[in-house]
Amino acid sequence: MCAMTTGGFRDIQPVEPDLVNSVMQSAALLATILVAHAESQTRLQICRALQDEGYKVLEGVASTDTLSALDAHIPDLLIVGFPGSDAITFLQSIHHHPVRAAVALLALDMGGEAVPLLEAGADDVLAMPLNTQGLRLKVHSLLRMKVAERTARELVSRRSRDQQSLQRASQRLAACRRLSDVLTVTAEVLRANLGFDRVSIALYEQDTYTLRYAVSTDSQGRVYSPQDTPVAVVLSPGSQMLELPAYQSLFVDRQETYYIPDTGGRAPAYFRPFLDGPVGETLLVALRVGDQDVGLVTVDNLLSGRKFGPEDAGLLLTLGRQVALAIERARLADELEARAREAEVLAQVGATLSSVLEPAQLYDLVLEQAAKTLPFDMAAVLLYRDGWATVAASWGDPGVPADTRLWPLGEPMKSWLPEDNRPPVYIRDTDANIGWLDQEPWLAPHQLRSLISVPISAEGKVVGTFVIAGFAANFYSQRQVGLAAAFGDRIGQALRNANLYVAERERARASEELMQLRTSFVESVSHELRTPLTAILGYAEILQAHWNGSTDESRLEWVEKIAAAASRQQRLVEDLLLLTRVEGGEVGPRIERVHLKTIAQRAAEEVQASYRGQRIDLVGSEHLAVLADPGRALQIVTNLMDNAAKYSPEGSPIIVWWGPEDNTGSLRVLDRGPGVPSNGRDHLFTRFGRVPGSRMRAGRVGTGLGLYLGKGLATAMGGELDLESTGSEGSTFRLRLPLARD
């Protein structure tokens, strides 16, 4: 026998005529014949002749015992040889007998009664006297007729049984809502009702050209669905599998059936993946709706040994059409249901993601939610930072910590890292598309074969990408690609939300701070303005009231106090004016060569005038000159010394030290005060920045402008002002200005 033939079912050869004859002969040999004859000698003669041929023979003498033998044994052939009208009467009496139809009837014609005997119901007539050869021939042909009749009857009854089964199957299929039910019912019907031994059904996915074997029956007739590891065959154009004759004729030549007379025990595993045992005669039938492939059914009859006939192909084709329709219907229903479920999940994902307000927390949650929606073996959110795709969060690879820079952007090989808004990139098989994955140290061990990458955009700009990947090629369906895109959208929305929230929070914080600053500014400024005014008014009133009774000395003292207060106020007003100019960037310092010693001395004089008895030690090189605006430099240093006095206890000394340092002239003001607490250091140099809880000497006020202005002025002169060190032992502020070269 041949191992495997190509071609359609029509190639099945009809059963050979010789074989039919031998079947017939053996059927005839097994036949039982009842010989009814009144006359014993002839009866014996007939019986002997038939026994010699190998038939089983029973005898009847009169009509009564013949009838009971007929009932008891239901022979294949009855030979009636009653004399005269007895034979006709007997034949008429059994005409409606229940077993009559099963029995062939040969009447012996004793002389000229052939026609009445045939009319009375005999199937054939044999003229007497007995001719043994004639008897043999008649008996043989009658039995052959009987066997043929029975076979035909069986065929008809099988056909009608099959028709009924088909009808019931189509009713059952029509009632199936789920794809899994369609498959189970089909397998059951093919096996139990239509009599095929073993069955398997595969579904075809058009977008991936994949045939997935979904249901099979085993030799005990159990139906099972290997859902977890469905065997998939890729039949994409040019693929090796498509070269195989079975797939070639069904999926390329578009034949409806494919017949394999005998696989010779070498079952092609690709179309019988779940088979438990050898395969002989096999029949494959394509499931199609219109021209569209839906799947494939494979059956065999190895266990029963029943041979396939053309009617099997007809049956399978008829059922196949109904199954294909039912599959399409169920797939559509499943698809609609899946979409509704996805929409629901996506809405939930969107809501969950949008509830995250810190962008940094978003990315891990994204992967957590993605795992509920999409299958993957590895996933990552990559953000584009400083021209690099950087890991924000990853799943399935603990070796890549967040903030790892993976690839620079803009490389032609990495076109799947989208930098503009575009549909997701789906790489079905990295082996075929991009070999470079093997060289990526953190990807190589995982052998990722499929990859989807979706751009994440916030405020119209692509800020990163969401990547999911699988170990298998063709891991994703087109629907899942769409789902990944929808997921990317939700990430973008969530990111926008989080960014908006952060910006809003910053704005709120800034405006609250501003409000506070304004309030404290107004309070400080009005206080500062009022204090000298009170002094001016007070001494002016004293002067007025005591002009005549007072000495010139006292009057002079009061006038001096008025003048001092007025000049303080003038300074404050100047500070405020300067503030607006510094902030507006309009301070154009008049740079000239100036000695740091001069500035230190003048500042010390001013501060000592304000803090009587304040000890200020001046230490520094005599001729160290810097390039600066003398007025501004004096203002900065005076403020540093004033602060050193103001924020230190009465009697604690101030040291002022200056000297060259890194191409600058550096001046330090050291005090022994409480220092600046760590929580206040950030505020020092800000506008109105004051350290909460700072203690000042009695009668002093601060505006929080001095250091801020000082820093602005120092910068404008190309220098720097900072807090060098601070602690419980006091603070050191340092002013650096460009050195003046000789």
Binding interface with ligand ADP (CB under 6 A):
639, 643-644, 647, 671, 673, 676, 684, 689-691, 694, 702-708, 731
DSSP 130: P
CB 624 within 8 A of CB 658: yes
For the bound state, the minimum distance from the C-beta of residue 377 to ligand ADP, rounded and expressed in Å, comes to 58
Considering the complex, state which of residue 296 and residue 707 has its C-beta at the smaller distance from ligand ADP.
Answer: 707
Question: Which residues neighbour 270 within 8 Å (Cβ) at sequence distance 6 or greater?
Answer: 233, 241, 244, 247
Cβ(34)–Cβ(78) below 8 Å: yes
Write phi, then psi, for 179 (nearest 5 degrees).
-60, -40
Question: Least distance (Å) from ligand ADP to the CB of residue 643?
Answer: 3
Name the residue nearer to ligand ADP (CB basis): 384 or 647. Answer: 647
Instruction: Output 203 or 572, the one with its CB closest to ligand ADP.
Output: 572
Q: Is 635 exposed, middle or buried (0-12, 13-18, 19+ CB in 10 A)?
A: buried
Instruction: Tell me the closest approach of the beta carbon of residue 399 to ligand ADP, in angstroms.
Output: 49
Q: Which two tokens stand for residue 394?
A: 């990853």
Quickly list DSSP for 354-378. HT---HHHHHHHHHHHHHHHS--SE
Closest CB to ligand ADP among residues 213, 733 = 733
**Nearest distance, CB of residue 523 and ligand ADP, angstroms:** 12
Token couple for 107: 């009447």
DSSP state of 541: H
Cα distance between residue 589 and residue 737, in whole Å: 13
Q: If you write DSSP's letter for every residue of 270-319 in order, what string do you get?
A: TT-TT--S---SEEEEEEEETTEEEEEEEEE-TTT-PPP-HHHHHHHHHH
CA dist 567 and 544 (Å) reads: 21
CB closer to ligand ADP, 281 vs 671: 671
Q: Which is nearer to ligand ADP, 324 or 644 (CB)?
A: 644
Distance in angstroms (rounded) separating the CA atoms of residues 401 and 382: 12
Closest CB 538 distance from ligand ADP, rounded Å = 24
Of 258 and 658, the one with the shorter C-beta distance to ligand ADP is 658
Reported as type and span, the H/E element at residue 583 is helix 552-583
Q: In the complex with ligand ADP, which residue's Cβ is closer, 272 or 734?
A: 734
Spell 588-614 as b/e; 16+ CB within 10 A means b. Answer: ebebeebbbbebbeebbebbbebbeeb
Rounded Cα gap, residues 515 and 591, in angstroms: 37
Q: Which residues is 79 bridged to in the sheet?
A: 35, 106
The distance of closest approach from Cβ of residue 624 to ligand ADP in the complex, given in angstroms and rounded to an integer, is 23
Q: Which is nearer to ligand ADP, 120 or 707 (CB)?
A: 707
DSSP H helical ranges for 455-610: 478-546, 552-583, 596-610
Q: Which is nearer to ligand ADP, 64 or 516 (CB)?
A: 516
Closest distance to ligand ADP from the beta carbon of 631 (Å): 18
Secondary structure element (H or E) that encloses residue 450, with its range? strand 450-458
Nearer CB in complex with ligand ADP: 477/686:
686
Q: How far is the CB of 686 from ligand ADP (least distance, A)?
A: 9
Closest distance to ligand ADP from the beta carbon of 669 (Å): 8
From the CB of 657, what's the least distance to ligand ADP, in Å?
15
Q: Is the CB of 483 or the CB of 579 nearer to ligand ADP? A: 579
User: Closer CB to ligand ADP, residue 151 or residue 686?
Assistant: 686
Q: State the nearest-atom distance from the C-beta of 704 to ligand ADP, in Å.
A: 4
- Cβ atoms 210, 234 nearer than 8 A: yes
CA of residue 252 relative to chain centroid, distance: 32
| Strands 616-620 and 654-661, sheet pairing | parallel
DSSP E strand boundaries for 18-117: 32-37, 56-60, 77-81, 104-109
Q: Which residues pair with 389 in a beta bridge?
A: 384, 407
Taking the least distance from each CB to ligand ADP, the nearer of 383 and 640 is: 640
Enter the DSSP assignment of 733.
E
Q: In the complex, what is the shortest distance from the CB of residue 531 to ligand ADP, in angstroms, rounded to a whole number?
A: 13
Q: Select 258 or 708, whichever has its Cβ closest to ligand ADP.
A: 708
The answer to whether 656 and 618 are in contact (CB under 8 A) is: yes
Tell me the closest approach of the beta carbon of residue 589 to ligand ADP, in angstroms: 20
Q: Closest distance between ligand ADP and the C-beta of residue 703, in Å?
A: 4
- Orientation of helix 359-373 relative to helix 478-546, angle to 10°: 160
Q: How far is the CB of 537 from ligand ADP (least distance, A)?
A: 24
SS3 content of the chain, % helix, strand, coil (to 5): 45, 20, 30
Residue whose CB is nearest to ligand ADP in the complex, by number: 702
Distance of alpha carbon 298 from alpha carbon 274, whole angstroms: 11
C-beta of residue 563 within 8 angstroms of C-beta of residue 540 = no
How far is 370 from 422, CA to CA, in rounded Å?
A: 20
Four-CA torsion 503, 508, 514, 518, nearest 10 degrees: 160
DSSP H or E run through 618: strand 616-620
